[in-house]
Structure 1
Amino acid sequence: MAAQREKDAADYLEKHKILELFDNLTSMLFFYRPDNPRDFLVEQLKQLKLSQQTGVKGPNLFNNTNLDAVFGILDPANQKYITYAQYKQALTTLGIKDINECPEGVNEDKISRDTFKSEAIQGLQKCSAAYI
């Protein structure tokens, strides 16, 4: 009986992406360090609800500036590209699970900043949408 309740609880958490939601909210708290964490969390949840109702992109931890910084770290010599392995590792580190395995530039093993950012933004939006 207890095992079934635990399975039901785990299924519920997975179905509603609760753990992903809390991971994202916790990451946002650490990143932004708001003076009033409760108000900040309430605002983020309101934005998620609005996003669900309107289809407009919800709150996200990473913006263009953050993604530029990530790319810059991966490309310290300013070659204007990163390898596919770097691309894949960076997206995984950002919490993106459904990674495009064939992004533009994969055949040359040269993923551009624009491709990286586009794939990251799409992946992050899918992550946020998963728990809306």
Structure 2
Amino acid sequence: MLSDDLENKKQVEEYFEKHNVPILFERMMSSLLYYRPENPKAFLIEQLKLYEQFKELRPPILVFNRDDIAALFKTLDVTRKGYISFEQYEQALKNLGATNASMTPKGFKENMITLETFLDEA
């Protein structure tokens, strides 16, 4: 029974990875947090339509502008100290699809990535 559970978990993880489900959900949540629409369901439907239109394009077109990226930073900086950890930085870049960003950005050694650095790298 335990091996069946492990196999099912592995299949779910493979499915999610193959179809980029975590990235899609993270982008949708980021958009909701930034725009805070009156009707979240209708907003998400429109976002999915946008993603559908662009899914065949390579490289993928991202719908994030500088303001969106700043809003994401602010959601990560929950203590409002003006910086995020490198771990948060790294995960946020993955969520944004920023593949050319530095893995040793300014503030890396101190584990304090500022908004300015985040915007420059993303």
Q: TM tier, shorter chain?
A: 0.5 to 0.7
Distance 1:31 1:23 in 2: 12
Return the match for 1:3 from 2, 6, 13.
6
What TM-score do you get using the length of structure 1 for normalisation? 0.53
* Residue type of the alignment partner of 1:44: Q
CA offset at residue 19 of structure 1?
Answer: 1.6
CA offset at residue 102 of structure 1?
Answer: 6.1
Return the match for 1:100 from 83, 102, 116.
102
1:44-55 matches, within 5 Å, as: 44-55=47-58
Distance 2:85 2:7 in 1: 40
The equivalent residue for 2:77 is: none
Query: 3-state DSSP class of the match of 2:54?
Result: helix
Distance 2:46 2:5 in 1: 36
CA offset at residue 31 of structure 1?
Answer: 1.7
Query: 3-state DSSP class of the match of 2:55?
Result: helix
1:1-132 matches, within 5 Å, as: 1-55=4-58, 57-60=61-64, 63-67=65-69, 91-92=89-90, 95-97=92-94, 99-101=101-103, 117-120=119-122
2:32–2:40 Cα contact (<8 Å) kept: yes
The equivalent residue for 1:107 is: none
The 1:11–1:53 alpha-carbon spacing in structure 2 relative to 1, beyond 3 Å, is closer
Distance 2:45 2:119 in 1: 28
What TM-score do you get using the length of structure 2 for normalisation? 0.56
Distance 1:26 1:36 in 2: 14
* Residue type of the alignment partner of 1:41: L
Distance 1:89 1:59 in 2: 23
Unaligned runs of 5+ residues in structure 2 are 74-80, 106-115
2:34–2:68 Cα contact (<8 Å) kept: no
Identity within the alignment, %: 29
Unaligned runs of 5+ residues in structure 1 are 76-85, 104-112, 121-132
The 1:15–1:67 alpha-carbon spacing in structure 2 relative to 1, beyond 3 Å, is closer
* Residue type of the alignment partner of 1:119: E
